[in-house]
Amino acid sequence: MDYTVSSKQPAQLKVDCLVVTLNKGAETLPAALPEETRALISDCVKDGDFKGSKHQTLLLQRPAGLAARRLLLVGTGSDAPLNVVAFLQLAASVAKGVASTGAKSAAWWLGNIEVKEQDGAGVLREAARAVADAGYRYDIYRGDAAPAPALKRFTFLSELPAAQAKKAVAAGTAIAAGMALAKDLGNCPPNVCHPDYLVEQAKALAAAYPALKLKTLSEKQAEKLGMGAFCSVARGSERDGQIMIFEYQGGKGDPVALVGKGITFDTGGISLKPGASMDEMKYDMCGAASVFGTVKAVCELGLPINLVAVVVAAENMPDGRASRPGDIVRTLSGQTVEILNTDAEGRLVLCDALTYVQQKYEPSAVVDIATLTGACVIALGAHAQAVYANDAELAQALLVAGDECGDRGWPMPLWDDYQEQLDSPFADMANIGGPKAGSITAACFLSRFTKEVSWAHLDIAGTAWVSGGKQKGATGRPVPMLTRYLMNLAGQ
């Protein structure tokens, strides 16, 4: 898809479909539209064909006064400025409405849209991101896949200076490209997407961008380094675990580090999960997928920062070499862990990766991303990812970034009061803290490996994918939050 910007008036643009959004009631019509076009819309409103209700669409052929062949009206359902989330949903409806036509070219006039706490560049960036993201499809394994939409070019009409508008659209589409990569990896079936496959994808990503370098660690290498927690999870599978380290150099100073959990399939190990919905445990690598996607977005944007991104990948399987409840393992940090539940494996692979990235790179900040706990889904549902941090400034930076792009997080407590739930009579700690506050105690576990660095943990178990039915699939979150956070660091 070709995404462009134009400063032309809506009546002048020769496209197959022009999109205009109207507020609830559709009483105030944009002065930028010709008089005959406004009269046409007024008649549709008077006749009850269009009311401006939320996501309502009306397609008009050969509209009077326009050079466009079609006019698509889309309702905002509001008579007040939209928040970012509502605007993203509106943009998705715009994209869906255009895709349902036979239009090969389309344009969306943004001149009458207000979004809370967003300037013109922000509106344009998020519009481009949402429209591009709405076109995502994953149907490579379907024999009855629907034909691709006819649309080839999408233009955003904006009064911003050309260079600023072009930069905003490029940023939005770069983030959407990162989300698409994260979705592709998350949706990929687990018999295809295993640790070695992720290494192949990492090599392909590094080959695509000169500023990106890749290092890998095999399971054997990790064992020699002393990553006993990671290896305790990986050894239960016939497929070796793998660790990938991306190095992106675009600026000066210590790097920011991202660490993603990549359990490519999670049976629970010896602590076997129930069979219902176990197919969705292919999504237990969505933290890793979001790291891939964020790295791609950063490379596309060419951000002037230094970044190191670690993907720690393994399958959690219950064979004869798998860890047992009661086993004790020694982590790379030297601390020991009593494994009380082998289904609390994500924190085991992460803790060694967190130690590794601190030892090798001395980052200015570390953010880990993981589909870590079902408790987080119970606490926050699918709307916000949990944000834990030992640094209030880092937590706030992530929360602000999420608010700016509609990929929201929510602050969670990381009080010492919870730490005692991880006490073990035989090791330095247990890998679970009992049935209470499960997401918090998981974060407390990770905090024991990040005491000397500014660190945040994103539990994305509720936001990384949509469960069940025809809508099931990876969401690409939190690529927007992470990319926006890094853009803010870079002053963009």
pLDDT tens digits, residue range 115-136?
999 999 999 999 999 999 999 9
* Same domain as 139, residue 180: no
**What was the pLDDT predicted at 469?**
82
Mean pLDDT estimate for the chain: 97
Residue 165 lies in a domain: no
**What are the tokens at 233?**
């999870």
* Same domain as 153, residue 197: no
Is pLDDT of 55 > 90? yes
**What was the pLDDT predicted at 59?**
98
Report how far residue 3's alpha carbon sits from residue 405's, in angstroms, rounded to the nearest whole number: 19
Q: Which residues pair with 411 in a beta bridge?
A: 387
**What was the pLDDT predicted at 28?**
87
Residue 164 lies in a domain: no
* Same domain as 203, residue 146: no
Give the range of the structural domain holding residue 315, as residue numbers without chain letter. Answer: 176-489
Residue 167 lies in a domain: no
Using a pLDDT cut of 70, give the percent of the chain over it: 100
**What was the pLDDT predicted at 146?**
80
Nearest to 106 by CA among 139, 81, 128: 128
* Same domain as 127, residue 257: no
Contact status, residue 466 vs residue 472, Cβ threshold 8 Å: yes
* Same domain as 252, residue 122: no
Residue 30 lies in a domain: yes
**What was the pLDDT predicted at 63?**
97
The CATH number covering residue 485 comes to 3.40.630.10
* Mean pLDDT confidence for 337-350: 98
- Which position has the token pair 């370098």? 213
* Same domain as 47, residue 96: yes
The CATH number covering residue 119 comes to 3.40.220.10
Active-site residue flag, 129 = no
Count of domains observed in the chain: 2
Res. 147 pLDDT band, cuts 50 70 90: confident
Which residue, 127, 158, 189, sits at the end of a domain?
Answer: 158
Residue 78 lies in a domain: yes
- Sequence-distant (≥ 6) Cβ neighbours of residue 337 within 8 angstroms: 229, 328, 329, 330, 331, 348, 351, 424, 427, 428, 429, 430, 431
* Same domain as 197, residue 123: no
**What was the pLDDT predicted at 144?**
87
Residue 169 lies in a domain: no
Which residue, 126, 158, 190, sits at the end of a domain?
Answer: 158
Report how far residue 269's alpha carbon sits from residue 319's, in angstroms, rounded to the nearest whole number: 8
Residue 417 lies in a domain: yes
**What was the pLDDT predicted at 149?**
85
For residue range 277-321, list pLDDT tens digits in order: 999 999 999 999 999 999 999 999 999 999 999 999 999 999 999
* Same domain as 198, residue 53: no
Report how far residue 455's alpha carbon sits from residue 443's, in angstroms, rounded to the nearest whole number: 11
* Same domain as 254, residue 141: no
Is pLDDT of 69 > 90? yes
For residue range 442-481, list pLDDT tens digits in order: 999 999 999 999 999 999 999 999 998 888 999 999 999 9
Against a cut of 0.95, is the pTM above it? yes
For residue range 231-280, list pLDDT tens digits in order: 999 999 999 999 999 999 999 999 999 999 999 999 999 999 999 999 99
* Same domain as 61, residue 100: yes
The half-sphere exposure of 203 on its side-chain side, counting CA atoms within 13 A, is: 8
- In the set 69, 153, 166, 273, the catalytic residue is 273
- In the set 129, 183, 282, 347, the catalytic residue is 347
Is pLDDT of 148 > 90? no
For residue range 8-23, list pLDDT tens digits in order: 999 999 999 999 999 9
Residue 31 lies in a domain: yes
**What are the tokens at 243?**
């660790």
* Mean pLDDT confidence for 35-39: 97
* Same domain as 442, residue 301: yes
Cα angle vertex 471, ends 467, 472, to 5°? 35
For residue range 387-397, list pLDDT tens digits in order: 999 999 999 99
Report how far residue 26's alpha carbon sits from residue 75's, in angstroms, rounded to the nearest whole number: 8
* Same domain as 297, residue 393: yes
**What was the pLDDT predicted at 490?**
96
Is pLDDT of 145 > 90? no
**What was the pLDDT predicted at 453?**
98
**What are the tokens at 331?**
């982590």
